[in-house]
Each structure stands twice: as C-alpha cells, then as structure tokens.
Structure 1
Amino acid sequence: MIMRLFIQTIVWLIVMGAVLFVSAGTLAWPFAWLYLVEVGVLGLWLGVWLARHDPALLAERMSMFMQPAQSRWDKLFMLCAGIGWFGWLVLIGIDGGRLHLSDMPLWLKVCGAIGVCVCIVATRSVFRANSYAAPVVKIQAERGHKVSDSGPYAYVRHPMYTAASLYLAGTPLMLGSWWGVVCVPLMIVGLGYRAVLEERTLIDGLDGYADYAARVRYRLVPHVW
C-alpha cells in the first residue's frame, strides 16, 4: 500500500506540475516548485501516518473518485469539480507564471504556504476522528459506518471542508495569482453546497446522523454557518 501511495502521489504531482508549468510557459517559477514540494512531502507524511494508524481509510482515500456506491449527484459534482480544478490551475499558471498580472507581495505568498500546511496537518485530526472520511459521498455499510462526533467533529459537521478552504485560499496566494484568489469564494460555496447534499444522504442512510446534526449546529465555521 505504501508503494501505491508513493506512485499515486508522484503521478498527481506530475499532472499538477504539467498543468501549471505548461500554462505558465516556463519552468522558471520558484514558488510553483516549492508548492509541489510542500504538497508532495506533506501528502506523503499524511499518507504514511494513515498507513500505520488506519490502513482501511487510506485504501478508501486512494480509491477512484467515481464509485458504484457513490451518490449519483456526487458523481456529477466530482466531475464538475475536477474540470474546475484544472481550469483553475491553468488560470493561476497564466496569471502567476506567464503574464505576471498579479502583484503579490512575498509575505502573502508565505501566508499561502502556511495555509496549505495547516490544511494538511489539520486533515490528520479529521482522519483520526473519522475512519469513514472517504473522498466520495456514500454509506460505507461494509465497514460498519457510524457517526463521528469527536475531535473537530464536536465543533463543525464538515471539518475537512473547513481545512480544504485553507488549501483553496493558500494555493493561489502561494503561486502569486489574484485571479486565482477571486475564484476561491465560488469554490468554497461549492464545498458548502456539497456539504448540504452530503448531509441529506447521511440523514437518510446513517443511523444517528440526524441527532448529531441537531447537536452540532454548524457545518463549516462555528457560530457562522
């Protein structure tokens, strides 16, 4: 499983790097290289940790983004999200790497790198509390799926989406693209939309989730939403 983790990580980094550098029209983009190194190192760190502490969850996280048990609406969402993700990277590459339309100060790029790091580190807390945090929306009856309400789940119902928001904000900041930053609110709205639909699936198919949703009032940010 560790070997598969390394292979998938390397392939993903190559794909992201190709999209960024081709759209930028150059390999001389230091922060793009730093971004790929940061994402790769921290991603492998998280994956190795999962391999030791929850290999079943790691197997779920490395599975396909289109699965038979997955909700139909989520398949469409993931398809649109994938297209949007790569389009966003192209926009960032053109802006931050090719045309240099954005004047991003160094301190904001550093803040972006910190945001990416905090996201991945915080995700470990999510995985520690929820062994059923699959990348797709489905009821994992074969794994004894049950409600997770400890750790960050005691404060918000979708802490992984909260962490992902830091990643979404940090990526264009680190890569120096204000145009990429402009897209972030729309992407976070997309996460919120998925959270609402995911909850409907969980309420219908997972015992105890309705009671959990009544106890923990907020989805992404305490006292906000």
Structure 2
Amino acid sequence: MKLAVQIATSLVLGLAFFGLVLFLPAGTFDYWQAWVFVAVFSVSTFVPSMYLAIRHPDALARRMKAGPTAESRPAQRIIITATFLAGIAVMVISALDWRFGWSAVPVWLVIAGDVLVAAGLLGAQLVVVQNNYAGASITVEEDQPLVSTGLYGVVRHPMYALSLIMMLGTPPALGSLWGLTAVVAAVPVLVARLLDEEKALTDDLAGYAEYTRQVPYRLIPGVW
C-alpha cells in the first residue's frame, strides 16, 4: 500500500515537474510533441513500476530512494545534483528551441525520439528485474550478489547506457536539436558518476574486480 501511494505521488509530482520544465518555457500548452513525450514517459515508468511493486517490491523500494540525500558518498551528492540539473537543462532548452524555432525537427524524427525514450526507460526497468539491487543510489548491501548475466554481460553499467539512450531521444522527441547540446554536456557528469560507482563496487562488492576483466566495456559495447 505504501509503495502504491509513493508511485501515485511520484506520478503526480512528475506531471507537475513536466509542466514547469516543458510547457512553461514553451509558453503554451499547444505543444503536441511535449504531450506525446509526457505520455510515453509516464506509461514507460508507471506500468513497469506497478509490475515491480507486485513482483519485486524490494527492488522498487530501492529505486524510489533517489536524490542527493539518498547518497552515502559525498562526491555522489554533488554528481547526482549536477545530473538532475542537466536533465532539466535538456528539457528546458528543447522547449525553448521548439518555441522560438531554432531548429526544425520532422515528425519521423520526433517519433524516433519517443521510441528511444521508451526503449531507454523500459530497458532500465529490465535492468532492475535482472538485478534487484540496482538502486537509484550507490549502495552495496550486505550479501548483495554480483550480477554478470543478461544486460550486465554486455556492459558493466547497463542502467547508465539506457539512461543515455533515453536522454539522446528526449530533444528530438520534444521537437528540438539544440537540446542535444545539453545531453553532450551531461555525458561527463554521467561518466563521473559511473567511475565513482566502480570504485565503490570494486572496494565493497565481492568478485567485482574479476567481473571488470570479464566484461571490459563500461557503457558502450566495443567502444568504452
């Protein structure tokens, strides 16, 4: 019951958040790209969250503990704040781009962007199913197992890889190309979080050092 209330509250707050960072900069509610984006984002998070609430409530509870106050490592409090601000910048710049017509995005590219957003969000939920300890904060719990199969057999940080896919899809989904500049600026922040997390996992999670040798790529298969 508590998780259901948290999910519902998160959905309502999320809609209010989108109102502030999308429709306010756009200067109108007559912004169909934003409405489609909000619908795709909401469905791609709400439906899997309900599944997790039923099948993996502990995993969902870990995902709900997010934000700077949930982090135990000082560096991560700074990094997660920067990540949140970068996400806001992506949406605000995209909405301003759409409002003032800085770039022209065809409908097919808007749809492609929404597909990437959905793929990134749904894939992230799959990561949680494969690894119930994939929380929103960096914490190694007692008796936490090392997961090296599924998406974790492709890259060491599939959650970040899928988050990057979602971020790349957001600007075109919102009818913008200039929003991609904010995504590029957010990549170093994402990398900083990833590298700091690897330090924690190497120190505290049994077998992680060996896992890094078995799966050499952190974020992008064949690249890095």
TM-score, normalised by the number of residues in structure 1: 0.93
Pairing of 1:187-206 with structure 2 (within 5 A): 187-206=186-205
Pairing of 1:130-209 with structure 2 (within 5 A): 130-141=131-142, 144-209=143-208
C-alpha deviation, 1:16, in angstroms: 1.8
Deviations 1:38-66 (A, max 9, x none): 11111101101111221011111112413
2: CA distance between counterparts of 1:93 and 1:51?
33
Structure 1 regions of 5+ residues with no counterpart?
A: none
Pairing of 1:21-60 with structure 2 (within 5 A): 21-60=23-62
2:178 aligns to what SS in structure 1? helix
C-alpha deviation, 1:140, in angstroms: 2.1
- The residue that corresponds to 2:4 in the other structure is 2
- The residue that corresponds to 2:110 in the other structure is 109
Q: Does the CA-based 8 Å contact 2:37-2:174 persist in structure 1?
A: yes
Cα distance change, pair 104–48 in 1 and its aligned pair in 2 (3 A): same
Cα distance change, pair 222–64 in 1 and its aligned pair in 2 (3 A): closer
Q: Does the CA-based 8 Å contact 2:82-2:189 persist in structure 1?
A: no
Deviations 1:4-40 (A, max 9, x none): 2121122112112222111111111011011111111
Q: Does the CA-based 8 Å contact 1:125-1:151 persist in structure 2?
A: no
Residues 196-205 or 181-190, more deviating: 181-190
- The residue that corresponds to 1:86 in the other structure is 88
CA RMSD of aligned residues (A): 1.4
Taking only the aligned residue pairs, the percentage that are identical comes to 30
Matched, 1:213 2:215: no
Cα distance change, pair 65–46 in 1 and its aligned pair in 2 (3 A): same
1: CA distance between counterparts of 2:219 and 2:199?
16
Structure 2 regions of 5+ residues with no counterpart?
A: none
1: CA distance between counterparts of 2:41 and 2:148?
28
Q: Does the CA-based 8 Å contact 1:17-1:36 persist in structure 2?
A: no
1: CA distance between counterparts of 2:161 and 2:184?
13
C-alpha deviation, 1:124, in angstroms: 2.6
Q: Does the CA-based 8 Å contact 2:157-2:218 persist in structure 1?
A: yes
